[in-house]
Amino acid sequence: MQEKDSCCITDDGSREKKEYWDANFEKNETPNWIETEAPWIMTWINDIDLSKEATIFCAGVGNANIVEHLLQNGYKNIIANDISQVALDTLSSRVNNNSVTYLQDDLISPKKIQDYKGKIDLYIDRATLHFFTKCAEKDHYFSQMQDLLKTGGHTVIGVFSKDNKPKCCGLDLQLWSIQSLHNRMPDYNHTNSTEFAYKELNGNIRNYIYLLAQKQ
Ligand SMILES: C[S@@+](CC[C@H](N)C(=O)[O-])C[C@H]1O[C@@H](n2cnc3c(N)ncnc32)[C@H](O)[C@@H]1O
């Protein structure tokens, strides 16, 4: 059986990145990658000794349910970032809560994200990092994450493992191993890692790796 594509719209290169992602979220259907159950990373997050006042930065959050689950677990200071205003509008119409700040910005060419430098206790990214394939993008991504985090702050990153096609929706993907993430993050304690096979809504299996790390 031919594998269905993961996203709704195939990139033909004609759109800017923001327009591309906006067009995906404008489609009136749930994206295939969306987690419908409680995100399993909540167990990792609840095991970190994190104050409920901690500042949590959700990078490339789309309209993921992680935000609701953080709120349900009592966290009061959540920044929901995405390049797509459409995604954030969808999320904010579902989650209308003063504890959430919606921050439309490009992780790679940011205009506002720097305001949070040194203020983040927990950085979360599921399924965004692997869209950054150029060296300069990856360099910027990891150095920005490090700048955002307080010393002792944690990060939870979930990305496609090497056991996937390096293409999604016409977009090239960077596939990762635990070791390659470790190599990019020398100034962290690598607290935990795991592999996770995720069954998307269309039935495709996507193999993720997850890393929990603490900035030294
Ligand atoms: C596959 S989706 C994952 C969404 C969400 N993290 C989840 O787990 O459901 C990738 C997300 O990355 C966002 N994104 C892509 N490039 C971005 C960038 N340069 N800056 C911020 N967000 C970006 C997209 O808009 C999209 O919401």
Give the tens place of pLDDT for each residue, 86-103: 999 999 999 999 999 999
Instruction: Tell me if 130 is assigned to some domain.
Output: yes
Q: What is the pLDDT of residues 109-137, one digit of tens each?
A: 999 999 999 999 999 999 999 999 999 99
In a domain, 48, yes or no: yes
Pocket test for ligand 1, best of 82, 111, 164 (most atoms within 8 A of CB): 82
Domain that holds residue 96: 17-27+34-215
Overall average pLDDT of the 9-34 stretch: 85
Residue nearest to atom 16 of ligand 1 (CA): 83
Q: Which two tokens stand for residue 213?
A: 């790390």
Centre of ligand 1 to C-alpha 191, Å, is 25
Query: What pLDDT was estimated at residue 145?
Result: 98
Q: Give me 63's structure tokens.
A: 């309209």
Residue 179 falls inside a structural domain: yes
Q: Which pLDDT score, from 0 to 100, does residue 47 have? A: 95
pLDDT tens-digit map of 57-81: 999 999 999 999 999 999 999 999 9
Strands (E), the chain: 55-58, 77-82, 100-104, 120-126, 149-160, 167-168, 171-172, 188-199, 205-215
Which has the higher per-residue pLDDT, 81 or 171? 81
Answer left, alpha or beta for residue 214, where phi above 0 means left and psi between -120 and 50 means alpha: beta
User: What is the pTM for the complete model shown?
Assistant: 0.96
* Residue 40: CATH number of its domain: 3.40.50.150
Let me know if residue 21 belongs to a domain: yes
In a domain, 165, yes or no: yes
- Residue 15: its pLDDT value, please? 81
For residue 184, what is the enclosing H or E element? helix 178-184
d(CA 155, CA 119): 13
Three-state SS at 20: helix
Mean pLDDT to the nearest integer, 154-182:
93
The answer to whether residue 1 sits within a structural domain is no
pLDDT for 165 equals 86
pLDDT over 60 (residue 194): yes
Pocket test for ligand 1, best of 15, 79, 83 (most atoms within 8 A of CB): 83
109 Cβ contact list (under 8 Å, min separation 6):
none
What confidence score (pLDDT) does residue 1 get? 40
The residue with greater pLDDT, 29 or 164, is 164
User: How many structural domains is the chain composed of?
Assistant: 1
* Position 2 in a domain: no
Ligand 1 centre distance from Cα of residue 65 (Å): 13
Whether 47 maps to a domain, the answer reads yes
Q: What is the mean pLDDT of the chain?
A: 93
147-153 average pLDDT score: 98
Retrieve residue 192's tokens.
């935990």
What does the pLDDT read at residue 104?
98
Residue nearest to atom 14 of ligand 1 (CA): 60
